[in-house]
Amino acid sequence: MKTHVAVVASPGMGHIIPLFLFAKRLVTHHGLRVSFLNITTEASTAQTQLLHSTDLPSGLDVVDLPPVDLSTHVSKDALIVTRLCINVDQTFRCLKSVLLKLGKLKALVIDLFCTQAIDVCKDLSVPVYSFVTTSSAFLAFSLYLPTMDREVEGEYVDLPEPVQLPGCSRVRIEDLVDQIRDRKDVDYQWFLYNLSRLPLAAGILVNTWEDLEPLSLRAIRDNPFYQEIPTPPVYPIGPLVKNTETGPDVERTLAWLDKQPIDSVIFIALGSAGSLSAQQLTEFAWGLELSGQRFLWVVRLPSDIACNSAAFFNAGGDVNDPTAYLPEGFLERTKEVGLVVSSWAPQAAVLSHASTGAFVSHCGWNSTLESVALGVPMVGWPLYAEQRMNATMLMEDVGVLRKPWAVGPAAKETTTIGREEIERVMRSVIQGEDGKAIRRKAKELKVSATKALNVGGTSYESLSRLTEQWKA
């Protein structure tokens, strides 16, 4: 009988996609049986389609967890992490009975916001492993946060110097994740609660690979601070990224790319949950047009609310008409060099196309891994969560990204980047020497990523060591 493990992710495509890819890999590459537990409450259209419209490999089953009523538990103005964690908390009231019905499990793999499962599994003697859907640099920060909480008085955003992580690069104050910018907010309390429970896991899996983040991985393993926590064993198993997608206009999109020169197209897509203000979207369109560069732009309805994650709980469900909010005449004036699609494009297929020369990205970790693993350099446009940290790391430590605001502080959500700066960066990333340099680095990492995942590679062997433990 095959070794049986379960996997569960909190809602949000940034969590669902990598854990679902991980579940598939356990089945197809390591011969395990996997039950993927699907939190159905507030599941987006994209989440439902991914988990229920996919041909699953034999040995992978999706188990829908019963929906729960959050109306009396979550206020309408609750922030994302608070809403996610309360959703998980309420949904997991059935977790013990669900796990018992699944039979003997060798492990449960969770994401960062599902740590309530640790208490349930302790009663069942099922080891819990945490799957970190962000970088190992962010994992290092996550393990350090409880120490910051004990030692720092006042707000972190008022610190006079960057945060020095033991053995790692410093984190600029302006790059700190949104959830820790107000320690009085309940979002911070939920965030800290979940991250402080990382040491309770039997192991930590990270969607990265040795060559991409050697500094932070070495620090987590060897630095006395992390050893004394103590930090559970860490398993770099990435990059786990999508390689196929289905959706509207795939053939039209790829056919358009087929007509463009190699490395000439700027692909602009800000993730499943990213949106720009109307003013920023207008400036972006003008800057893009003025640059004269070829582009493929995935546009989404503008949002003028403070949070740049308006589509988080509606990924895949928005419908919009770009002519209603793009500058008048933009589509007609740029029709010879650009293609605009609304809401969605086959990102993996676009990034793997020879015509794609750069990727304007929100720097979410899934999109980052897809871009680097496919050898495409990035222009960073971070919006929320840990994306500012990712952008800085990719620019300063990895060398595959540039940002419109170059060397200065990270842009705040209320800052509008002007069309002249956008024009400069778009032209530079395709035609400039700096653009050529980050493209060379990205193509080197593409080779490294492929090697890491192949049999004998660092990520393949890392996951193999863990699965052999489960099979024993």
Question: Tokens in use for 297?
Answer: 């732009």
Q: Cα(1)–Cα(181) distance, rounded to whole angstroms?
A: 49
Q: Cα(290)–Cα(213) distance, rounded to whole angstroms?
A: 36
Query: Could you tell me where the DSSP H helices lie in 92-135?
Result: 95-102, 116-124
Q: What is the mean pLDDT of residues 185-202?
A: 97
Q: Cα(360)–Cα(285) distance, rounded to whole angstroms?
A: 13
Q: What is the mean pLDDT of residues 391-411?
A: 77
Fold classification of 250-449 is Rossmann fold (3.40.50)
Segment 211-228, tens digit of pLDDT: 999 999 999 999 999 999
User: Percentage of residues in the chain with pLDDT exceeding 70?
Assistant: 93
Segment 154-189, tens digit of pLDDT: 999 999 999 999 999 999 999 999 999 999 999 999
Residue 414: per-residue pLDDT: 57
CB contact set of 344 (below 8 Å; sequence gap of 6+): 247, 248, 298, 316
Contact 364, 269 (CB under 8 A): no
- Is domain 4-242+454-471 given the CATH code 3.40.50.2000 in the classification? yes
pTM (predicted TM-score): 0.93
**Confidence class for position 39, pLDDT limits 50, 70, 90:** very high
Contact 4, 35 (CB under 8 A): yes
Lowest mean pLDDT among 115-124, 223-232, 312-321, 369-378: 312-321
Contact 35, 6 (CB under 8 A): yes
Q: Residue 66 CB: number of other CB atoms within 10 A?
A: 11
Report whether pLDDT(410) > 90. Answer: no
Residue with tokens 């032209």: 427
Clarify whether 52 is annotated catalytic. no
Q: Cα(400)–Cα(442) distance, rounded to whole angstroms?
A: 6
CA nearest neighbour of 360 among 282, 245, 285, 270: 270
Residue 308: per-residue pLDDT: 44
Q: What is the mean pLDDT of residues 107-130?
A: 97
Residue type, 401: L
Clarify whether 178 is annotated catalytic. no
Residue 394: per-residue pLDDT: 97
Q: Cα(160)–Cα(183) distance, rounded to whole angstroms?
A: 17
Q: Cα(156)–Cα(174) distance, rounded to whole angstroms?
A: 10
Segment 57-93, tens digit of pLDDT: 999 999 999 999 999 999 888 998 999 999 999 999 9
Q: What is the mean pLDDT of residues 135-149?
A: 98
Backbone phi, psi, residue 466, to 5°: -70, -45
Of the candidates 4, 64, 111, 321, the residue annotated as catalytic is 111
Q: What is the mean pLDDT of residues 431-441?
A: 96
Residue 310: per-residue pLDDT: 46
Of the candidates 15, 175, 263, 362, the residue annotated as catalytic is 15
Beta strands at 203-206 and 338-342: parallel, antiparallel or unpaired: unpaired
Sequence ranges of the chain with CATH classification 3.40.50.2000: 4-242+454-471, 250-449
**Confidence class for position 207, pLDDT limits 50, 70, 90:** very high
**Confidence class for position 385, pLDDT limits 50, 70, 90:** confident
